[in-house]
Amino acid sequence: MNNQNDSLEQLKRAALLRLLQQRGAARIAETPDTISLADRAAPLALSFSQQRLWFLDQLDPTASTAYHIPAALRLRGSLDLVALKASLDRLVARHESLRTTFERVGDEPVQVIASPECGFTLIEEDLRNLSAEQATRSAERISDAEAAAPFDLLNGPLIRGRLLRLADDEYRLLITQHHIISDGWSIDVLVKEFAALYQAFSRQQPDPLPPLSIQYADYAAWQRRHLDGERLAKNVEFWRSHLAGAPAFLTVPTDRPRPAVQDYRGATLSFDLPAGLSNAITRFAQARAATPFMTLMAAWAVLLVRISGQQDLVIGTVAANRDRQDVQSLIGFFVNTLALRVKLHANPTLDEVLLQVRTLMLESSVYQDTPFEQVVEALKPPRSTRHSPVFQTMLYTNAGNDAETLSLSGLTLEFLPSRKDHTQHDLSLHIDDSGDCLSCSLSYSTALFDAATIERIAQRFERVLSYFTDAPQTRIGALDLDPG
């Protein structure tokens, strides 16, 4: 009987994959092969995602602060300051998005692109008069302030930098961008192109980067045409059906009453899953024709069901939206938000939860380019100043490529952990495959949660994952999340 059940399950999986492949092929056939150049003499429309952030900034500049993207790089060795400045200036000249601002024309916002010669805004500070310990603390304070300082979407610039010199051979390069012009994948593009430019310019060599065939404004115009009319209506209908009747609010117990107005202040707990568990998650997923991320999403859903008491919930995640070759080298706001609804009634087993999540993620991937703002507009969820609409928790992994330590001409470049103190949602779990283990960052609203509560949530998440890999036939109601 078990062999018959296994065969039936394999047939179901094969049929599902064939259906999704057919849908994917149809989607690709509907997609124009090339993105044409937009008319620069005409008003340049915003992408759907840009428009959402622009409206948010108009309504609540405090909320806009939660969409800053800070990055801190440690530079060690002999720095060629002329080459560094030339590299940053060249990046701004190369990518129109980095010199874009936004103004209102009539009732609509438009993109305004500055001259390629506008350059990169870099402030230099020398901390060598301080002790090593004082210089490090000062650099951390400056980094925190830099990440939180507001942007002016009308006047710009929307990318800025600070170069801190801590010692003769050590620097911190702080680069902060507004999400309206960038995303996680874009950071990797920026750093890798900076490294290539610096390597060339420090040796008095020409720019080694190939020219870009299109710019972000061209993509935004293409997106407006591509997702107009029938195609957009069909995509939105999938999400409307998927989310119809879903609860608008997740009732996770908090340490304090929810404020009347969301303040977006946050903190982050970082922790690593044990290497043995990380490897077990990969093996577990592969044995079930799933991905590790599907397993992580299933475990996060199970944990939220257990601590909230809700059996029907919506979790946010993101899609890189970079499946087209011509946009993979661009800096811009491509990433899209997806709202995944998980229904865990009837006390399912963990294996059954993974099957539901796997099916959901495969089906929704066909519609992942549907702008989230269009989904929200179609759903018309109850609006509240107390929490974000549709969902209040997220789970996501890197949207782009991993950024490694880079060795340049007499210099090494290394990413430092982000010190962002704002969050867009109540709970957001970011998971990064660092090689030996899965590294997790759990961001949370400090208006709602204490650090000790978040530590318990992290411990319980690891516990749920252990059940998935060790006892997948366990029903979710039988999980012991707080062993003696």
1 pLDDT more than 60:
no
Q: Of all helices (H) and strands (E), which one includes residue 165?
A: strand 159-167
Q: How far is CA 301 from its chain centroid?
A: 19
Q: What is the mean pLDDT of residues 282-297?
A: 96
Ranges 115-124, 228-237, 316-325, most confident: 115-124
- Rounded Cα distance between 431 and 184, Å, is 13
**13, exposed or middle or buried, with CB in 10 Å at 0-12, 13-18, 19+?**
middle
Q: Residue 77: left if φ>0, alpha if ψ -120 to 50, beta else—which one?
A: left
455 pLDDT more than 60:
yes
* Fold (topology level) of 232-478: Chloramphenicol Acetyltransferase (3.30.559)
> pTM for this one?
0.87
250 pLDDT more than 60:
yes
- Rounded Cα distance between 48 and 30, Å, is 19
Q: What is the DSSP letter of 403?
A: P
- Rounded Cα distance between 321 and 360, Å, is 18
Domain residue ranges of the chain, discontinuous segments joined by + = 48-217, 232-478
Instruction: For 383-442, write each residue's pLDDT tens digit.
Output: 778 888 899 999 998 644 445 678 888 899 998 877 667 888 999 999 998 777 899 999
265 pLDDT more than 50:
yes
Query: Across the chain, what does the average pLDDT equal?
Result: 90
**353-367, 430-444, 460-474 — which is least confidently predicted?**
430-444
Instruction: For 65-111, write each residue's pLDDT tens digit.
Output: 889 999 999 999 999 999 999 999 999 999 999 999 999 998 899 99
In angstroms, how far apart are the furthest CA atoms of the chain? 76
Quickly state the pLDDT bin for 13 (edges 50, 70, 90). Answer: low
**Distance separating the N- and C-terminal Cα atoms of the chain:** 38
29 pLDDT more than 50:
no
Please indicate whether the domains covering 48-217 and 232-478 agree at the CATH topology level: yes
Q: Which CATH architecture describes the domain 48-217?
A: 2-Layer Sandwich (3.30)
